[in-house]
Structure 1
Amino acid sequence: MSKHKPHVEDLEFESEEETAPTDKIKSLRQQLLAAQTEAKEYLDGWQRARADYANLQKSAAGDKLRLGKQAKQTLLLDLINLADTFELARSDETALAAVPPAWRQGFEHIHKDLLAILNRHGLTVIDPLGETFDPKQHEPLGTAPTTNPSQDHQIVKVLKKGYALEDEIIRPAQVTVATLSN
């Protein structure tokens, strides 16, 4: 070859490109790591927000059910008072005898329909006459002495029937309980 042109193989030189790719790769890896960390934070935040929203929906649904049950219970308690009035009127046999038979039949029909409505809405009557006293279902308003040991703590009179709504006592039966006297 010629004297003026050096052969390419004989030349040694350092290229900026040889050192720059490693720095660039390090920089890109750091950027990737930062982007992955940021993406994970966003994903975690999104998942927490999603879980919070699901919990809020469950809570709102529970609140809605509780409010509905409470409103139903309030209305049924008012209707129970009406049923008590019917029971009180039915217990006055002298007054009922003075009423024409057609009125009595109408009265009984309305009472029967009222009880059917209460039953249809999940209300059950607690009429504990002759049963053993249970403080979870009965409210003692008085006692009656008895000498018979088998009647001790038995209900001898129901002053007002009790009511349960879907297995929950909403009004205990008001009763008189027999107590053994010596």
Structure 2
Amino acid sequence: MSEKDAEKHLTEHSSAAAPPANGAEESAANIVTELAVTKDRLMRSLAEQENIRNQAQRDRDQAVRFAAAKFASDLLPVVDNLERAIASVPKDKRTDTAVADLLAGVEATHRALLDAFTKHGLTRLEPIGKPFDPHQHEASFEVVDPQYAPGSVTNVIQSGYMHHDRLLRPALVGVNATSVDGRAAPAEARSKTEAP
């Protein structure tokens, strides 16, 4: 009910009552009516202010919680490149002192970056063997692999990440074929890197 409707209702209600005996009682009735309308407006205004305050607090909390999302998204290619660098070192070269030292530094940088991600609410999606979820995965190809149920993720080409409860980047995956028709490519490696 709007303020004008409330005033009209109260005025009609007060006029429907028995007519006052004199001007003082009429004046008191008008004051009581005006006080009731003013109190109603005040209560509505306080409730509206509280709602605005609560909404502003929720918006602020969300902004603080997801402030690092764009920055973290920009760092994901760095993690991908570190993982590619680690995976590109041949196994026979890993025993060479110079290569082993360099590889240890790259792996330490990779771990430190993933630790920082975890500290700020970023988690890597681990979809291998799980059902394909279009809200978290992006299918790149289909394979036939009897090891997995039809529609399950069999390969990860590019890792996906969540930031708290929001998807930062979907995982680029290969999915097991729903029917074995022999036309899909055979299953390849289980993940894009051998790095942890």
TM range (shorter): 0.7 to 0.9
For 1:170, the equivalent position in structure 2 comes to 168
Q: What whole-Å deviation, never above 9, does each CA across 1:40-91 have from its counterpart, x for those lacking one?
A: 1221121111111111111111221232334222222122232122122222
State the AA in 1 paired with 2:49: Y
For 1:7, the equivalent position in structure 2 comes to none
% identical aligned pairs:
25
**TM-score computed with the length of structure 2 as normaliser:** 0.69
For 1:80, the equivalent position in structure 2 comes to 76
State the AA in 1 paired with 2:163: L
Give, in whole Å, the separation in 1 of the partners of 2:126 and 2:148: 20
Give, in whole Å, the separation in 1 of the partners of 2:34 and 2:152: 72
For 2:16, the equivalent position in structure 1 comes to none
1:16-27 superposed matches below 5 A: 26-27=22-23
For 1:132, the equivalent position in structure 2 comes to 131
Q: Which runs of 5+ in 2 are unaligned?
A: 1-19, 182-196
SS across alignment from 1:139 = strand
Give, in whole Å, the separation in 2 of the partners of 1:39 and 1:132: 64
Give, in whole Å, the separation in 2 of the partners of 1:169 and 1:136: 8
1:29-44 superposed matches below 5 A: 29-44=25-40
1:54-133 superposed matches below 5 A: 54-94=50-90, 97=94, 100-133=99-132
Q: Give the aligned length.
A: 158
The structure with the greater share of residues assigned to helix is: 1
For 1:154, the equivalent position in structure 2 comes to 152
Q: Comparing 88-97 with 55-64, which one deviates more in the overlay?
A: 88-97
Q: Does structure 1 conserve the Cα–Cα contact (< 8 Å) formed by 2:161 and 2:171?
A: yes
SS across alignment from 2:143 = strand
Give the number of the structure whose alpha-carbon radius of gyration is greater.
Answer: 1
State the AA in 1 paired with 2:104: Q
**TM-score computed with the length of structure 1 as normaliser:** 0.74
Q: Which runs of 5+ in 1 are unaligned?
A: 1-23
What's the CA shift for 1:115?
0.6
* CA RMSD, 1 decimal: 2.6
